[in-house]
Amino acid sequence: MTESRSETLTLQSLRQARIRLQNRIRTTPLIASRSISDVTEANVRLKAEHLQRTGSFKIRGAFNRLLTFDRTRVQGVVAASSGNHGQAVAYAARALGLQATIILPHGANRLKVRSTQDFGARIEYAGTTSADRLARALTLADDLHPLVAPYDDYAVMAGQGTIGLEILEQWPEVEVVLVPIGGGGLISGIATAIKSSAPHVRVIGVEPEGAAKVSASLAAGHRVTLESTISVADGLKALTPGELTWPLIERLVDAVVTVSDQAIVEATRLLAERTKQVVEPSGATALAYALAPDHPLQGLNVVAVLSGGNIDWSSLLSALGE
């Protein structure tokens, strides 16, 4: 199956991705929690992408992109990742008979490293930032070993956007969708799905205070590159919005807000205690906004996307002070 690279992201490309991904991914549930709804004073449901194959939403975009390559020509793939994207590319590559090379940061989440290796990938380490990893990946990529971008690729965004299609089908009464923001691929895909089909539904992006690249870019009126980022949410620490994701965020997303690491950790803890769901800090970030003491979404039908569940327990316990 081949496809020329799309020049944009559309509802049609999302629908095509959904067909392509049949039998490759899980349709994840919307989990209702009375206790979470009581705390937020909203009617909250949780889009459980932490229960997705490889433990995060990333498998959607990775598989969608790999399935567009000409597998009679492509010999392998290369990806740069903080962890979840690398796992997803490794899993999809193995399923399609391709060798994956994944560039991870020094100090990467140990669970994510082990899982990526278990899926048969070759691992390299490069620096500590997304720019470091991408620079190394670009030196390895060529026509026979294409780069699979973590977010700045329309086919990847289309795969992630299938989450938005599922949300609208599972709960047509939804009024607000909360989405965590790293480089912007997840929110670009979901916002395209939501605004193309139900433009009255608000899409709110949530990013850590220590990695607020989209908030800074919106304030400046153009893409901003941060000098550094720091957060317990290791999957959301991109230094800048993607070149392709940025205009989609600017045009389609209703608001972008920030939350503290303390709020993210408390959301992670609450999910475990009240709903018995194991969600990594990056995956709990969207919910952290709904849990704010001023009840910003009071009385509304809200979906919070729980984007992943691959926890490095030692790091989380350190953040919890335990």
Spell out the per-residue pLDDT of the chain, length 322, in tens.
Answer: 334 455 789 999 999 999 999 999 999 999 999 999 999 999 999 999 999 999 999 999 999 999 999 988 999 999 999 889 999 999 999 999 999 999 998 988 787 788 899 999 999 999 988 789 999 999 999 999 999 999 999 999 999 999 999 999 999 999 999 999 999 999 999 999 999 999 999 999 999 999 999 999 999 999 999 999 999 998 899 999 999 999 999 999 999 999 999 999 999 999 999 999 999 999 999 999 999 999 999 999 999 999 999 887 666 566 555 5
Q: Looking at residue 273, what DSSP letter applies?
A: I
CB 281 within 8 A of CB 298: no
CB 89 within 8 A of CB 101: no
pTM of the prediction?
Answer: 0.93
CB 121 within 8 A of CB 86: yes
- Choosing from 82, 130, 231, 307, the catalytic residue is 307
Instruction: Tell me, yes or no, if 315 is annotated catalytic.
Output: no
Instruction: Tell me, yes or no, if 282 is annotated catalytic.
Output: no
- Choosing from 58, 112, 213, 237, the catalytic residue is 58
Rounded Cα distance between 24 and 18, Å, is: 10
What domains, with CATH codes, occur in the chain? Answer: 11-56+153-320 (3.40.50.1100), 58-140 (3.40.50.1100)
Rounded Cα distance between 183 and 188, Å, is: 10
CB atoms within 10 A of CB 12: 11
Where are the extended beta strands (E) located within 152-288?
Answer: 176-180, 202-208, 255-259
Quick one: CA dihedral 270, 214, 8, 156, positive or negative? negative
CA dihedral defined by 270, 272, 275, 276, rounded to 10 degrees? Answer: -170
